[in-house]
Structure 1
Amino acid sequence: MSVVIAAHDEERQLGRCLDALLPQGELEVVVVANGCSDRTAGVARERGVKVIELPEPGKAAALRAGDTACCAFPRLYLDADVVLGPGSVPAMLACLAATGAPACAPEPELDLTGVSRVAAGFHRVHERLMAGRRGLAGAGAYVLSEAGHARVWPMPDVLSDDGWVHRSFAPAERATAGRSLVRPARRVAAVVRRRARVRRGNRQLDRLGRTETRLGGADLVTLVRRREVTVPDAVCFVAVLVAERLPGWPTGRWGSPGQSGRSGGDDGWGSDRSSRD
């Protein structure tokens, strides 16, 4: 199995990612350090994996460079700040073999350590809203068979690579196995910034013809009525949605309401440091 990790200034996170990954099988691992100003490449080399260094930041370009350097299938694309649970790589490989699915992703588990009360409430509600809908997006990792790879590559210059992959397959073609530990944004301001980036990525995918049905307010009401989320968490969720639409909050650089975080174009790297905020 080949593994591609695009890493932009991930010196502090990459070691944990690789230490969890490397014992899980015979893996060809390629780390693409793109536009880094820290020891990301050095951390990867210390663990004996192949390293490609690119001068400019850009996740899609980094994924393409790493993909070109790989030899084996299936192929795993892993975020540098995500930790795969023990046995998750063999589980995903076994799932692909057993089901014949072209794509597979782990089930994400949120690490809410140090997350503020409002942000944690938002994340819990969001996870319940996404239950059964997440598919290949949001887990920080996805595996493609050779046939699945042919469906989605070469990767275009998109902000949301996992969104592009997710929307390239029908629900019946998306398998789930294993677990990944994901660190969500820890403060409300960071949640808003991350969601602004997600919205830009979704609009970009829509323009490229990869459309998907959006969730609505009725879905939240249903979860509350079924007691699948608590009322306090639902209030936190709504509070974040309101905050997104406040002009100038929290950075003072945003545009009109509903345009939160629109600084820069849609096609940049947009590296998200918010899980460290």
Structure 2
Amino acid sequence: MVVASVVVPAHDEAASIARTLRALRTGVGPDDLDVVVVCNGCRDATADLAREADPRARVIEIPTPSKREAVRVGNTATDVFPRVHLDADIELTGSALVELVAAVREGGAMAAAPRRAVPRAGCSPWVRWYYDVWEELPHVQSGLFGRGVVVLSEAGQARVEHLAGLMNDDLAMSEAFGPGERRVVPGAVAVVHPPRTVADLVRRRTRVATGNAQATRLGVRRTGSQTRVRTLLSLAVSRPGLAARVPVFVGVYLLASFGARRAVRVGDFDTWQRDESSRTG
């Protein structure tokens, strides 16, 4: 019996797609998951590697390099719920996915996401310091965004259908549900590989800042999900060990905000500022 469908949009993910799909099949039966990988505008071997790593997955290739279109195609390819939206560079085991599905199917949540693990080995010290602060922010701990995985009930999927075009789609999905409707499941863990270099970190955070601005413009983003000065000051006071790291966080935040200005000014919410260092083995 199929317990959930999994939609995986993938653009030039040859370095990570096999790792992602193999993890997904760990701890579940061969027919438990309806996995749909949508390779969009790929110029590498993503599709072939996906088929090799998971022969049971349905691999669809479309010519347009667009996550929005890939998600749309993936959603139309399956009618199974709960629906799992999984980024192609995230490691989530099948057994962890089952816990998330249970939170939606039996726990009453409309949306669920795993606890994130952000391995810092091989990362620049500045990158490590940035994530030391970022992971302690209250809205980062409670929101579904930044985890690379969101599981939706059928009603939850219907609620976010119109938000699929947003650049930060996981933020949009998180903000679409109130605290009583969404759940972070501590027992389920997703491995989110961070950038290894400061340049790639700023590139990734510029993308996030641009998407956040789009969500704010459209009235999707809640005020509670924004990083505020008083929150950072409170962290520095209550967690002295983070005090020296906060300026690093602020520096990256300002650089990313500056980098996002041009895109926001011209309304460019399609250009994908991608980092490659997180995709190395």
With the length of structure 1 as denominator, give the TM-score of the two structures: 0.88
Output the CA distance in 2 between the equivalents of 1:147 and 1:165. 12
Deviates more, 1:54-63 or 1:131-140: 131-140
- 1:109 Cα shift? 0.7
Corresponding residue for 1:223?
Answer: 235
Output the CA distance in 2 between the equivalents of 1:131 and 1:245. 18
Q: Secondary structure at the match of 2:106?
A: helix
Corresponding residue for 1:202?
Answer: 212
Contact 1:125 1:229 in 2 (8 A): no
Pick from 99, 108, 111 the counterpart of residue 100 of structure 1.
108
Sequence identity (%): 38
Does residue 270 of the first structure (1) align with residue 257 of the second (2)?
Answer: no
Contact 2:10 2:40 in 1 (8 A): yes
Output the CA distance in 2 between the equivalents of 1:242 and 1:207. 19
Pick from 107, 114, 138 the counterpart of residue 146 of structure 2.
138
- Structure 1 spans left out of the alignment, 5+ residues: 247-253
Q: Deviations over 1:136-177 (max 9, x none)?
A: 111000100111111111554221111111111112111112
Contact 2:16 2:88 in 1 (8 A): yes
Aligned in 2, Cα 1:15/1:238: closer, same or farther, shift over 3 Å?
A: same
Q: Secondary structure at the match of 2:25?
A: helix
Corresponding residue for 2:11?
Answer: 8
Q: Deviations over 1:178-231 (max 9, x none)?
A: 110001122222121111111111121122220211221111111121126423
Contact 1:32 1:51 in 2 (8 A): yes
Deviates more, 1:191-200 or 1:27-36: 191-200
Corresponding residue for 1:170?
Answer: 178
Q: What letter is aligned with 2:217?
A: R
- Structure 2 spans left out of the alignment, 5+ residues: none
Aligned runs of 1:13-52 on 2, under 5 Å?
13-25=16-28, 26-46=32-52, 47-48=54-55, 49-52=57-60
Point out 4+ residue stretches in structure 1 off by more than 3 angstroms. 130-134, 241-246, 260-265
Output the CA distance in 2 between the equivalents of 1:138 and 1:175. 14
Deviates more, 1:153-162 or 1:55-64: 153-162
Q: What letter is aligned with 1:191?
A: L
With the length of structure 2 as denominator, give the TM-score of the two structures: 0.87
Corresponding residue for 2:250?
Answer: 238
Output the CA distance in 2 between the equivalents of 1:53 and 1:159. 21
Aligned in 2, Cα 1:188/1:264: closer, same or farther, shift over 3 Å?
A: farther
Number of residue pairs aligned between Structure 1 and Structure 2: 267
Does residue 81 of the first structure (1) align with residue 89 of the second (2)?
Answer: yes
- 1:238 Cα shift? 3.0
Deviates more, 1:187-196 or 1:30-39: 187-196
Output the CA distance in 1 between the equivalents of 2:256 and 2:215. 21
Output the CA distance in 2 between the equivalents of 1:132 and 1:40. 31
Aligned in 2, Cα 1:191/1:134: closer, same or farther, shift over 3 Å?
A: farther
Output the CA distance in 2 between the equivalents of 1:263 and 1:131. 26
